[in-house]
Structure 1
Amino acid sequence: MNHSQEPPAPPASLKPARITVLLNAKAGARNKEIIQQRLQALCQARAIEPEIHLLRRGDAIFWAARQAQRAGSDLVVAGGGDGTINAAATALIGTGTTLGVLPLGTFNYFARNLGIPLDLEAAVDVLFTGRPQTVSVGEVNGRNFLNTSSIGLHSRILAEGERVKARFGRRRWVAAISTVVTLFKRHRYLRLRFGLGPDASTEKILLAFLTISQAQIGQFDPRAAGCLDTGRMCLYLMHPVGRWGMLRLTLSALFRRLHQVDGLELRCIDEAWLDTPRHSLRVTLDGEIVSLAPPLHYRLLPDALSVMTPAEPHDSENG
């Protein structure tokens, strides 16, 4: 008797991976209907028929991503800025479903951090030729962030920036001018308590800025790599400064020399507890502003999210 087994016959047809694409109609300045048509053509050229949704509300991204994951999509793709990517990622954290990224926003820090190209066709190519990579995610009081979170002055800068961009458009120069103008307004300081128990300390600060993104902070402060490369978070605390101090901060940011700013302290942390007598705090998460009740508990979730990244290193700065 011949016990050797015949190799299984190949299937008559290979079913392509199930892909769901979620486009934020309001992200960036480009026409999303045109992008939707281009995306459809690029996928069809690869014999893939994606399910594409053009969504106009930020909360709809999260629920659509969760529904796609539960329906069995192999790849859930988010097209928009960092806030859009955050919403989709939050729905996929811990599920094993891979997130695809189409960077269509203003700054696209998450895509830059992973080397995902900013050109649409090249980014689509990554969806089909790339490799899944697990990345760590930040968390504060159950809310996630992929790049940064902050309280204080940075939240006010973003709130004012949204008001200005609604009038003049979502462009980088608009955001830059709005930031400079906001910096020189009067600001209230926060009294923050750091830590729990008898070892906790209280300090007066203008802002607390926490980042896990080398792409966003590394270009401004070479010290950041020492934190981020060891799997920790960078916590920046800005202590009280006058108008001249604010001017020095602005110039240092323009010339990418934050490490030379007096009054700007860097702490490398694994987790942090931040408390204040206030009933709620405006907290930014990847550029989106939410209200959270203190104390704020920041921590890192290692390898919590699977993301499709380029198989080969790519210089995302040049598209």
Structure 2
Amino acid sequence: MKAITLVNRRGGRAGADARDRVSLALTAAGIEGPVELIDGDQLAARARAAVDHGAALVIAAGGDGSQSAVAGALAGTGCALGILPLGTLNHLARDLAIPSDLDEAAAVIASGHRRRIDLAEMNGKIFVNNSAIGLYPLMVLDRISQQVRLGRSKRLAMMVASARTLWRFHDQRLRLTVNNGEQELLDTPLLFVGNNDYRLALPAAGRRQTLDDGRLCVMVMRRKGVLGLLAAMARALVGLTRPDDMVRLDNVRELRVESVQSRVTVSVDGETCALDWPLTYRILPGALTVIAPIPGA
């Protein structure tokens, strides 16, 4: 089997020897081809170039941000994505039942089993996991600032960022238009849009059982005071979300989000960006070919 492998030099657990470790795992699995160490912001362009030159398989070694960048470049092309999870959380790999162990993940790629899965899109930007408006992206911005300025660990910085953001945050008034029809006007601290359905209850909290359902997962957090928000977030972290914490919108294939504000900070697969309103989310059924274990096997 031949492939082009792109290693994000700063992808989560990558480390200084990431390229060597990836090369060894691929060689042991019988996978041939160049292994390139690349900056994260160059992954999409390099993947597009590989497709233009006829590549049938591009392997992304990194975290969810790396997988998302390469997936966006491969969407709709027929070129398959192979996943070597080197990130901190590796949500996409986990939901596809791809092992976190590098050698085992390489063996999955060598098996060659191809699946078509959905992608989601927000204002033309493709994502594999989820996007959020409100509390979460502001927490991420604060966390990154602390890591850069103060050298704090990701976990500690996020704890501090969560407390500060909750204390300062005010609800946003949003107008939601679902599938170009029904409209809702609401005030919320958090809007979550996922690529396929996310579970909220144990034992599968934060996981997806399918990635080919053809629907967005849209959840709106109910208005609460600071203490109520803290309690709701704590329940979400341990998989004990209550019905009065979130409102779930069903059968959403397209979602338009509007606000009276001029700009909005959005998180997309863990990365943040500032955009003009409105935001339009769409599901892209079967847009990506991945190499992954057979579901249920």
TM-score bracket, normalised by the shorter chain, equals 0.7 to 0.9
Alignment of 1:266-277 (within 5 A): 266-268=248-250, 269-277=252-260
Change (3 A) 1:165 1:35: same
Match of 1:307 in 2: 290
Change (3 A) 1:219 1:178: farther
Change (3 A) 1:214 1:118: farther
8 Å contact 2:29–2:106 — kept in the other structure?
no
Q: Which runs of 4+ in 1 moved over 4 A?
A: 196-199, 213-230, 311-314
Change (3 A) 1:216 1:128: farther
Match of 2:131 in 1: 149
Of stretches 295-304 and 249-258 in structure 1, the one that deviates more from structure 2 is 249-258
User: Following the alignment from structure 1 to structure 2, what is the Cα–Cα distance between the partners of residues 253 and 225?
Assistant: 15
**Per-residue deviation at 1:227?**
9.9
Match of 1:168 in 2: 152
Match of 1:86 in 2: 68
**Per-residue deviation at 1:51?**
0.8
User: Following the alignment from structure 1 to structure 2, what is the Cα–Cα distance between the partners of residues 100 and 227?
Assistant: 18
User: Following the alignment from structure 1 to structure 2, what is the Cα–Cα distance between the partners of residues 98 and 153?
Assistant: 35
User: Following the alignment from structure 1 to structure 2, what is the Cα–Cα distance between the partners of residues 181 and 120?
Assistant: 35
Larger radius of gyration: 1
Alignment of 1:134-145 (within 5 A): 134-145=116-127
RMSD of Structure 2 on Structure 1 (CA): 2.8
Are 1:49 and 2:52 an aligned pair?
no
Secondary structure of the equivalent of 2:18?
A: helix
Match of 2:267 among 284, 287, 291: 284
Change (3 A) 1:65 1:219: farther
Change (3 A) 1:80 1:87: same
8 Å contact 1:130–1:311 — kept in the other structure?
no
8 Å contact 2:7–2:35 — kept in the other structure?
yes
Alignment of 1:77-156 (within 5 A): 77-156=59-138
Of stretches 66-75 and 211-220 in structure 1, the one that deviates more from structure 2 is 211-220
Letter of the structure 2 residue corresponding to residue 274 of structure 1 = V
**Per-residue deviation at 1:47?**
4.9
Match of 2:7 in 1: 23
> Between the two proteins, what is the percent identity of the paired residues?
31
Between Structure 1 and Structure 2, how many residues are aligned?
A: 293
8 Å contact 1:224–1:234 — kept in the other structure?
no
User: Following the alignment from structure 1 to structure 2, what is the Cα–Cα distance between the partners of residues 226 and 311?
Assistant: 13
Are 1:60 and 2:42 an aligned pair?
yes
Residue by residue over 1:288-313, the C-alpha shift from the partner in whole angstroms, topping out at 9 and shown as x without a partner, is: 11223222111111000000102475
8 Å contact 1:189–1:206 — kept in the other structure?
yes
TM-score by length of 2: 0.87
Alignment of 1:3-14 (within 5 A): none
Match of 1:8 in 2: none
Letter of the structure 1 residue corresponding to residue 5 of structure 2 = V
Change (3 A) 1:306 1:218: farther
Residue by residue over 1:87-107, the C-alpha shift from the partner in whole angstroms, topping out at 9 and shown as x without a partner, is: 000000000000011111111
User: Following the alignment from structure 1 to structure 2, what is the Cα–Cα distance between the partners of residues 165 and 118?
Assistant: 25
Alignment of 1:158-307 (within 5 A): 158-166=140-148, 167-170=151-154, 173-174=155-156, 177-178=159-160, 180-182=162-164, 184-195=166-177, 200-212=183-195, 217=200, 219=202, 230-258=213-241, 260=242, 262-268=244-250, 269-307=252-290
Letter of the structure 2 residue corresponding to residue 131 of structure 1 = H
Residue by residue over 1:233-290, the C-alpha shift from the partner in whole angstroms, topping out at 9 and shown as x without a partner, is: 22111232112212321331233111x1534211122221111122322111111112
User: Following the alignment from structure 2 to structure 1, what is the Cα–Cα distance between the partners of residues 174 and 261?
Assistant: 10
Gaps of 5+ in 2: none
User: Following the alignment from structure 2 to structure 1, what is the Cα–Cα distance between the partners of residues 201 and 78?
Assistant: 29
Change (3 A) 1:202 1:42: closer
User: Following the alignment from structure 1 to structure 2, what is the Cα–Cα distance between the partners of residues 227 and 21?
Assistant: 26
Gaps of 5+ in 1: 1-16, 315-319
**Per-residue deviation at 1:156?**
0.8
Letter of the structure 2 residue corresponding to residue 168 of structure 1 = R
Secondary structure of the equivalent of 2:98?
A: coil
